[in-house]
Structure 1
C-alpha cells in the first residue's frame, strides 16, 4: 500500500515536472527524464498493485483463519452449553420422576389411611358397645358384691384406700430408711452439729468421793475423852472448827455436821490426830486445829496447781487455783466436784476440737464452770452466777465468764463455748453411775425402753444396750416379714419419741431371723 502511494506521488511529481518543462520549452533530455519517471512510476504502481494483492490475499487468509478459530470456539461453547442444558434437563427429569413416585406413594398412603380410619371407626363403635356391656355387667357385679359383703361401693373403696395407704406407708418407710442410711454415710459435715446435741456415754470408771461426815472410833470410851469434863473439849473443838459434833448412841461413830466441807475435813483430821495422840484438852485442840487448817490450805493450793498442770491450763489467778483445790472436798449428788469438773473440761475440749473452736478456752471454762459451789461464806446467788462473778473479778476471758454463768441458763448464751460447756456438764452428770440420783432413773429408763418394744405384736424380746443408746428388738419370723419389720422399727421409735423421756437419741434395731436346727445322731 505504501509503495502504491509512493508511485502515485512520483507520477504526480513527474507530471508536474513535465508540465513545468513543457511550459518552458525544455529540451529533449527533460522529456526523456519525464518518460523515464513515468516508466518508473508505472513499475512502482505495478509492484504496488502486486504487493497489495499479495497483502490482500494474506489478510483474507488470516481473516478466514481467525473466522475459523472463532467459529470453532463458538461451536465448543455451544456444545458445552448444550451439554450443561442436557445435564440440567436430565436432573430435572430425575426429580420429576422421583416426585411422581412420591406422589404415587402419598396417594397410596392416603388410601391406606382412609381405610384405617374406616376400620378404627368400626372398631370404636364395637368398643363402645363392649364398654357399655362391661359397665352394665360391672354394675351388676358391684350390686351382687354389695349384697354379699354388706359394704357399699364407697365403703369398699375407703377400705381399699386404707389398705393401700398402709402398704404405701410400709414401702415409703423402707425408702426413707435407705435414704437416712445413705445420708448418715455422707453426714460428715452434719456430725459437728450432732456432737453438740448428742449426749454420749462415757465408758471409763470414776471413783465417787463424798465429803466425810462420819468419824469412826475404835470404842465408845473415846467418846467420853472427846466430850471432856462437862463437855469442855467438844465445845472447844466446835468453837475452833465451826463444825457441829454430834455424839449419840451410834456405836463407834461420831457425826460431823457442817455446810462447809473444808471445815468438816479440818475437824475430821484434827479429831484423828487428837485421838491418835491421846492428849485431848482445849489448848491442844486449838493447836492441832490450827496446824491442820494450814495443812489443808496448803493441800488445797497444791491440788489446784496439780489440776491445772494436768489439764495444761496456764495463767490462772491464785485465788481461782485455791477455789479449784477446794472442789476436792465438795460433792454434788454423790459425785466429787473436782473430778466432775476435770471430766467436763476434757469433754468440752474434745467437742471444741471437733467444731474447730478454741480448745484451751473450752478446757478452762469446763474446769471453772462449778467454782460457785465452793464459797467460803454462804451466798444467796445461784452457783453459776456466783462463779461468773468470781471469774470476771479475777480477769477471765469474757467467753469463759459467759460459759460459767450460762451453763444452767441463768443468763443468755453469747458464744458457741457456752452450749458446749452446758452439754459437757450434762454428759458428765448423766452417764450411768455418775450420781446416785441418776442411777435409779437410768435403770428405770432402760426398763421403759424394753417395755415399749415388748408392747408390739410379734416382738419376742427386747434389750436396751449401749447405756440406753440402742434398743435391739427380736421378732418372730413367722409373724413379722421384712416389710413389717421395717415398719415396726419406725413405730417403736415413734412411740419412744412421743411417750418416753431420754437424753440424745435412741437407735432402734429390729432383728428378724429364721433358724433351722437338726441333730445328727
Structure 2
C-alpha cells in the first residue's frame, strides 16, 4: 500500500495538469477567435465605408459626364442650325444668280439677233459695191485676185528668200555652236589612238623552195589547203611570200595563220593541213570571242549574250575605208554615250545602240538584206528586247524611220567616228571616182553653170546662172543637191553644198 501511494499522487497531479491545460488552451482559443472576429468586423466596416465613398464619387463623375454631353449636344445643335442657315442663304444667292444669268442670256439673244440683221445688211451692201466695182473696172473678181496674187507673189518672193536666209542663218549659227561644242567634247573625251587594222594577205615563207612543198605533187597540197580553209592560195614570182586571197576576212585570217604554221613546221601534206586548219579555226573563234568581250568591256556594256559577243568579235577582221569596225563600234558607243548625256537622252540605250549598230557587217554574205536590217534581226533573236535599241540599229542608215532621239544620236556618233580626221582612208582611184561623181551630180541640175569639188570631196561649190536661178531658188537648189548626194552616193562624213549666185553688170565706154 505504501509503495502505491506516490504513483497515485503523481497520476492525479498529471490529470489535474491536463484538465487545467485544457481549460487554459480553450480560453486562449476563444480569446483569439474573439480578436479575429473584431478584426474582421473592422475590415468589413472599412470596406463598406470605402465602397460608399466610391459610389458617391462615381455618381458625381456620371453626373459631370452627363452635363458635359448635354452641353456638347447643345453646341452641335447650334452649329447645325448655323450651317442650315448658311446653306439656305447660298441657295437663295444661287437662285438670284441664275435669274440674273437668264436675264443676261435673253439680252444677249436680242443683241445677237440685231447683229445678225446688221450682218445681213452689210453683206447685201458688200455685194452691191462689188458689182459696182466690177462694172467700173470691167474685170471679174477672179481676174482681179489673179493679178493681185501675181503682184503679191513677186513682192513676197524676195521677202521670203530674205526671211528664209535669216532664219537658216540664225538656226545654223546656234545649231553649229551647240553641235560643234558637243562633237568637240565627245571627240576629245574619246580621242584614243586609232590604228587601222588591215588583214594581212601576204604570208612570208622561209625560202622559195617552200613554194614547191606548198603546191605539192600534182598540186595536191595546195588543193587540200584551199578546200579546207576556203581560200585561194596564189603562188607567184613574189620572192619569199605567197598570197592568201578570200572575200571573207575571217576565212582569210584562218588561212593566213594556218599557212604560217605549216611553213614554220615544214610538214605539209593533206592530213596535216586539215588538222592545222581545224586548230586555227578554233583559235580564231576564240580570238573573236575574246575580242568581242574585250570590246564590250571597253565600251562599258554588260549583259550581252555570248552569241552577240562572238558576232561582234568577227568585226575585228572587218575594215571600212581602212577603219577597223570593232574599234569603230567601241568608239561609236562612247561618242553616243557622251552625246546622250549632254542632251539628256537615255545613255544606256544610246551606248548599246552605238556598240551594236554595225553588227550586221559581220553576217555571212549568203544572208539577204542590208547590214542594218540583219543586225537588228540578229540582236532581237539573241535577247535584245529594247525596241529603242533595235530601232537605232535598223535606222542608222534611214532604211526605217527613226523612232527616238537615241537613234539620231547613234547616227551622229557613227558619222563622227567615221568622219573625224585619221579615222578612214580610201585609195586614190576610189577618191578620184567619188570626186568626179560629185561634180557630175551637181552639174546635172538645171541652171548650174559650173561645179567644183574641193576640200578632198568634203565640199562642193556650185556656180549658177543668175538669169535662171533667183535667191529663193538658190537655197532650194542647195537642199535638192544635198538630198540627191545623200540618196545616191556613199562617202565618209558629210559634204557641204554651196550654191553661188553672182550678178554682173557689164558696159563699155566708147
What TM-score do the two structures reach when normalised by structure 2? 0.50
Query: In structure 1, what is the equivalent of residue 458 of structure 2?
Result: 468
| Pairing 1:329–2:314 present | no
- What are the within-5 Å matches in structure 2 for residues 358-373 of structure 1? 358-373=346-361
Alpha-carbon distance change, 178 to 361 in structure 1, aligned in 2, over 3 angstroms: closer
5+ residue gaps, structure 1, are 1-164, 196-201, 474-486, 513-521
- What are the within-5 Å matches in structure 2 for residues 373-384 of structure 1? 373-375=361-363, 378-384=366-372
Cα deviation for residue 313 of structure 1 reads 0.9
Alpha-carbon distance change, 506 to 280 in structure 1, aligned in 2, over 3 angstroms: closer
Distance 1:451 1:322 in 2: 47
Does the Cα contact within 8 Å between 1:464 and 1:472 map onto a contact in 2?
no
- What are the within-5 Å matches in structure 2 for residues 285-304 of structure 1? 285-304=273-292
| Pairing 1:244–2:234 present | no
- What are the within-5 Å matches in structure 2 for residues 23-172 of structure 1? none
Does the Cα contact within 8 Å between 1:215 and 1:268 map onto a contact in 2?
yes
- What are the within-5 Å matches in structure 2 for residues 416-431 of structure 1? 416-426=405-415, 428-429=417-418
Cα deviation for residue 266 of structure 1 reads 1.4
Moved more, 181-190 or 275-284: 181-190
- What are the within-5 Å matches in structure 2 for residues 471-490 of structure 1? none
The DSSP-based 3-state class of the residue aligned with 1:407 is coil
Query: In structure 2, what is the equivalent of residue 320 of structure 1?
Result: 308
Distance 1:448 1:259 in 2: 31
Distance 2:455 2:199 in 1: 33
Query: In structure 1, what is the equivalent of residue 254 of structure 2?
Result: 266
| Pairing 1:353–2:341 present | yes
Does the Cα contact within 8 Å between 2:330 and 2:355 map onto a contact in 1?
yes
Does the Cα contact within 8 Å between 1:304 and 1:323 map onto a contact in 2?
yes
Moved more, 462-471 or 389-398: 462-471
Alpha-carbon distance change, 187 to 247 in structure 1, aligned in 2, over 3 angstroms: closer
| Rg larger in structure | 1
Query: In structure 2, what is the equivalent of residue 403 of structure 1?
Result: 392
Query: In structure 2, what is the equivalent of residue 109 of structure 1?
Result: none
| Pairing 1:387–2:375 present | yes
Cα deviation for residue 305 of structure 1 reads 1.8
Distance 1:261 1:505 in 2: 30
Does the Cα contact within 8 Å between 2:234 and 2:242 map onto a contact in 1?
yes
Cα deviation for residue 174 of structure 1 reads 6.7
Q: Report the aligned-residue RMSD.
A: 5.3
Q: Which deviations, in whole Å up to 9, do the C-alpha atoms of 1:296-330 show, x marking residues without a partner?
A: 22322221122111111111212211111111112
Distance 2:253 2:332 in 1: 25
Distance 1:350 1:266 in 2: 37
Cα deviation for residue 280 of structure 1 reads 2.2
The DSSP-based 3-state class of the residue aligned with 1:246 is strand
Query: In structure 1, what is the equivalent of residue 219 of structure 2?
Result: 231
Distance 1:273 1:299 in 2: 17
- What are the within-5 Å matches in structure 2 for residues 437-516 of structure 1? 439-440=431-432, 443-444=435-436, 464=454, 468=458, 496-499=478-481, 501-502=484-485, 506=496
Distance 1:315 1:326 in 2: 19
5+ residue gaps, structure 2, are 1-152, 184-189, 464-468, 487-493, 503-510
Moved more, 394-403 or 321-330: 394-403
Does the Cα contact within 8 Å between 1:489 and 1:509 map onto a contact in 2?
no
The DSSP-based 3-state class of the residue aligned with 1:215 is strand
Distance 2:305 2:455 in 1: 44
Aligned residue pairs total 337
Distance 1:278 1:380 in 2: 41
Distance 1:183 1:409 in 2: 24
Distance 2:232 2:453 in 1: 49
Query: In structure 2, what is the equivalent of residue 280 of structure 1?
Result: 268
Does the Cα contact within 8 Å between 1:369 and 1:384 map onto a contact in 2?
yes
The DSSP-based 3-state class of the residue aligned with 2:203 is strand
What TM-score do the two structures reach when normalised by structure 1? 0.49
Alpha-carbon distance change, 294 to 313 in structure 1, aligned in 2, over 3 angstroms: same
Distance 1:339 1:278 in 2: 36
Cα deviation for residue 497 of structure 1 reads 3.9
Alpha-carbon distance change, 467 to 205 in structure 1, aligned in 2, over 3 angstroms: farther
Query: In structure 2, what is the equivalent of residue 59 of structure 1?
Result: none
Distance 1:495 1:232 in 2: 63
Distance 1:250 1:271 in 2: 18
- What are the within-5 Å matches in structure 2 for residues 4-15 of structure 1? none
Does the Cα contact within 8 Å between 1:243 and 1:256 map onto a contact in 2?
no
Alpha-carbon distance change, 397 to 466 in structure 1, aligned in 2, over 3 angstroms: farther
Q: Which deviations, in whole Å up to 9, do the C-alpha atoms of 1:322-375 show, x marking residues without a partner?
A: 111111112346543223323432343344334322122212112212222323
